[in-house]
Copies of this chain bind each other. A is one copy, B any other.
Amino acid sequence: MSIITILGAGVMGSAMTLPARDRGHEVHLVGTHLDRAIIDSIRSTGRHPKLNVKLPDGIAACHAEELSGALETADLVILGVSSAGIGWAIERLCETLTRPIPVVMITKGMHPEPDRLICLPDHVTAEVRRRCGLSLTVAAIGGPCIAGELAVRRQTGTVITARAPDFAQALCAMFETDYYHPRPSPDVEGVEICAAFKNFFAIGVGWAAGHLEMMAATENRAFNHNAAAILFDQAIREMMVLAQGHGGTAQSVWGMPGAGDLYVTCQAGRNSRLGNNLGRGLTYSAVRNGPMKGDTIEGAELGVSVAATLRSMIAAGKLEAAALPLTTALLDALTRDAALDIPWAAFHRS
């Protein structure tokens, strides 16, 4: 039995309480300043209002200002804030930690530096060391996991990645249940590139179903699945270029973190819906001001945040332009408000 503090009471952080409690761990779920209503609800009724389920018994639900107490005896921190909240989380950890506690991240994203993308475990490790001198061991979870399904104990497979194989293995052993199946991986860069970019590429795959609505109906009522499959294939090819360009391996890309997670991300969700809308011929700004006003679209936010870095890596020859036609088209759609025209003939060429 371990003592686990989850920082961030959003859907994914909170869903981790299921395998954690089912394996008998002591769980402190600490909300951010944005999670006050969630924490109050869990305290009073046990229910998580966004997951729309009653969480397991025995969770200590805490407000942000109670983080310090929740960390006092913790063996492990699960970092479950949103991508946008990572700076806030680093600040809180630096204020609060008095000793290094191992961290496992479920936050997805890449930290852009001018000449390369840094995966979040490395970013958190470096920032915490720089600011408060503590050396954290940071792992991350990738792979296909819809929080609402984990929260009702649906079969779920993930990959837990850490540079130290023993740490990844220990984390898997700590959370494995008969419905939650984490597998260890040493490929931090590959898993993290996939975790972030599967959302981005799901926008591309979503184009096909949206574009179908703009095409004249045919007598045989043909769908546009062949086109979606080309886009899915090209997404895997380009995730491989991006992963390998950052030191990741092919196996993460064709495995659970890449192809597996892209598969589930294309079944539903906001990234797909943005893609549908771009397929209908709307520009990204028109979608944001219209049908998806106010929505957080993770893949689009990622694209906007990494566009300058990726373009400069391509210009410097660190990433091959001819190998990234879908990436380029998506970046242009997200940052230059270009129509998303799919460059079919450029696919599968390099």
Contact = CB atoms under 8 A, between A and B. Distances in A.
Interface of A: 51-53, 143-146, 148-152, 154-157, 178-179, 181, 183, 208, 218-220, 222-230, 232-233, 236-237, 240, 250, 253-256, 259-261, 263-264, 267-268, 342, 344-345, 347-349
Contacts of A152: 218, 220, 222
A240 B267 CA distance: 24
A82 to B, nearest CB: 20
Contacts of A255: 233, 236-237, 348
A280 to B, nearest CB: 16
B183 A229 contact: no
A72 B219 CA distance: 35
B228 A263 contact: yes
B233 A256 contact: yes
Closest 3 CB pairs of A and B: A144-B229, A254-B254, A233-B260
Given A157-B230, A228-B264, A232-B263, 19 more contacts: A52-B219, A53-B219, A144-B225, A149-B226, A152-B220, A152-B222, A155-B227, A155-B230, A155-B344, A156-B226, A178-B344, A181-B230, A181-B344, A181-B345, A233-B260, A233-B263, A236-B259, A236-B260, A237-B255
A339 B145 CA distance: 26
A259 to B, nearest CB: 5
A53 B226 contact: no
A227 B223 CA distance: 25
B232 A154 contact: no
A232 B263 CA distance: 8
A271 B310 CA distance: 40
A148 B217 CA distance: 13
A218 B220 CA distance: 37
28 contacts: A53-B218, A53-B219, A144-B226, A144-B229, A144-B233, A146-B225, A148-B220, A149-B222, A152-B220, A155-B224, A156-B230, A157-B226, A157-B230, A178-B345, A179-B344, A181-B344, A181-B348, A225-B264, A226-B264, A229-B256, A232-B260, A236-B254, A237-B255, A250-B254, A254-B254, A256-B348, A259-B259, A263-B263
Contacts of A143: 229
Given A225-B268, A348-B256, A233 B157 contact: yes
Contacts of A226: 144-146, 149-150, 154-157, 264
Contacts of A52: 219-220
Contacts of A342: 155
A143 B250 CA distance: 20
A232 B230 CA distance: 17
A253 B250 CA distance: 12
B236 A149 contact: no
Contacts of A233: 144, 157, 255-256, 259-260, 263
A224 B149 contact: yes
B227 A154 contact: yes
A223 B155 CA distance: 11
